[in-house]
């Protein structure tokens, strides 16, 4: 996969990570390490000399060495149903025990079908599924689900080979996936990147967060993401720490001695930016900027522009002029503060000066149209 392909995939929303609501609903075996680890947002770690009752402690999903017919697999509920465009399989630290091959299948299930899933224990380490649970999930015929990645070899979990990336070519929306390991072994993390599927109810009149992940918002592009990706800005809830936000490197073009203008804003030559796509065409009514946990590294000010994407180019209008920020605080900007909120927009550009970190951005407004079709 080319570097451009990698950028395009990684820039998309992870539809199954734990923070975005992903959930393991079934696994054939969780002997050494439970499948829930696949969905953790944090990078996998290795603990030297740490063992459990069942064997070596591993930060991933690891099944026992299979001694009966078949292969191991698990079913994962997407936290954010959507169109899958890429998959990353990370085998970090699974060097002599990684799954030799894998495949991925997917399905769009109804609520009635979801009710057929068997219950799953909270702590499944050292267990395998019962025949009763296997019979129960077989009613969903998961082995017949759409194959989006065929049986494919994986690389061992050494630093230079752990990341396995795969593009997916489909336009279908899915709610669940089945991850197959052939025949057994370990995988540290699974990422399923794609576009959130969300249909706006145009009959409802209340405002919504137009860029929230759950409402179809996404990260289009950005200037710098040295410490944290801007797609974190549109996650649900407040950020849990600085790693759960967007943070840039310190700009090297900052003046050696800083000065301010008549509005108490730093006079600096550069800035950083992130373009976020709205889940629908919308009219913006108020904005919320949260600098939670950014106490010594929040931006001096923020500016927000609204854009319409035409022929691969944006037409930008200022919505929120450069406005001072402070540490570890939710900043509210209402109609009085907004210069231009008459136009409908498909994207917003968050501009921070000179650099620093934001935890969350909320763009509240009224949906105008479901139709976007721009990326």
Query: CA geometry: angle at 93 spanning 90 and 95, to 5°?
Result: 100
pLDDT at 334: 86
Q: Counting beta carbons within 10 angstroms of the beta carbon of residue 337, is it exposed (0 to 12), middle (13 to 18) or buried (19 or more)?
A: middle
CATH architecture, range 208-369 = Sandwich (2.60)
CA distances from 247 to 241, 302, 357 (A): 11, 13, 4
Is residue 306 classed as helix, strand or coil in its secondary structure? strand
The phi, psi pair for 220, rounded to 5°, reads -90, -50
The hierarchical CATH code for the domain 3-196 is 2.60.120.260
Q: What is the largest CA-CA distance in the chain?
A: 75
Q: Take residue 29 and report the two structure tokens written for it.
A: 């075996």
276, 361 contact by CB (below 8 A): yes
pLDDT below 70 — which residues of the chain?
1-10, 311, 335-342, 370-375
pLDDT at 375: 33
Is residue 270 classed as helix, strand or coil in its secondary structure? coil
- The percent of the chain in helix, strand and coil, each rounded to the nearest 5, is 10, 40, 45
Model pTM score: 0.84
pLDDT at 336: 54
CA distances from 84 to 46, 142, 198, 357 (A): 30, 18, 14, 29
Asked if domains 3-196 and 208-369 share a fold, the reply is yes
pLDDT at 39: 98
Q: What ranges do the domains of the chain cover?
A: 3-196, 208-369
Helices (H), the chain: 3-10, 111-114, 131-137
């Amino acid at each position: 996969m080319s570097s451009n392909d990698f950028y395009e995939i990684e820039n998309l929303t992870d539809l199954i990570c734990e923070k975005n609501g992903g959930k393991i609903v079934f696994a054939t075996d969780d002997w050494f390490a439970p499948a829930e680890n696949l969905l953790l947002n944090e990078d996998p770690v290795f603990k030297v000399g740490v063992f459990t009752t069942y064997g070596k402690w591993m930060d991933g999903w690891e099944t026992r060495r299979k001694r009966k017919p078949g292969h191991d697999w698990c079913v994962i509920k997407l936290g954010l149903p959507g169109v899958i465009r890429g998959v990353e399989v990370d085998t970090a630290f699974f060097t002599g025990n990684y799954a030799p091959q894998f495949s991925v299948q997917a399905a769009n299930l109804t609520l009635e079908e979801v009710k057929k899933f068997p219950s799953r224990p909270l702590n499944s380490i050292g267990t395998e599924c019962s025949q009763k649970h296997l019979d129960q999930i077989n009613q969903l015929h998961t082995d017949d689900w759409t194959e989006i990645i065929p049986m494919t070899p994986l690389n061992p979990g050494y630093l230079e080979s752990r990341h396995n990336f795969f593009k997916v070519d489909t336009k279908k929306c899915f709610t669940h996936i089945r991850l197959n390991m052939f025949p057994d072994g370990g995988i540290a993390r699974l990422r399923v990147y794609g576009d959130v599927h969300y249909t706006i109810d145009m009959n409802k009149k209340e405002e919504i967060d137009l860029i929230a992940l759950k409402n179809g918002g996404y990260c289009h592009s950005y200037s710098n993401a040295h410490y944290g990706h801007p797609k974190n800005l549109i996650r649900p809830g407040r950020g849990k720490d600085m790693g759960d936000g967007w943070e840039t490197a310190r700009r090297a073009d900052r003046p050696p001695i800083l000065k301010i203008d008549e509005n108490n804003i730093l006079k600096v030559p550069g800035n950083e930016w992130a373009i976020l796509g709205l889940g629908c065409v919308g009219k913006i009514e108020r904005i919320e900027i949260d600098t939670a946990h950014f106490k010594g590294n929040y931006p001096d000010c923020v500016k927000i522009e609204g854009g319409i994407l035409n022929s691969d180019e944006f037409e930008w209008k200022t919505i929120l002029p450069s406005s001072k920020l402070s540490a570890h605080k939710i900043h509210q900007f209402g109609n009085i503060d907004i210069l231009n909120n008459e136009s409908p927009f498909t994207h917003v550009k968050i501009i921070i000066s000179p650099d620093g970190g934001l935890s969350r951005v909320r763009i509240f407004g009224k949906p105008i149209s479901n139709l976007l079709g721009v990326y």
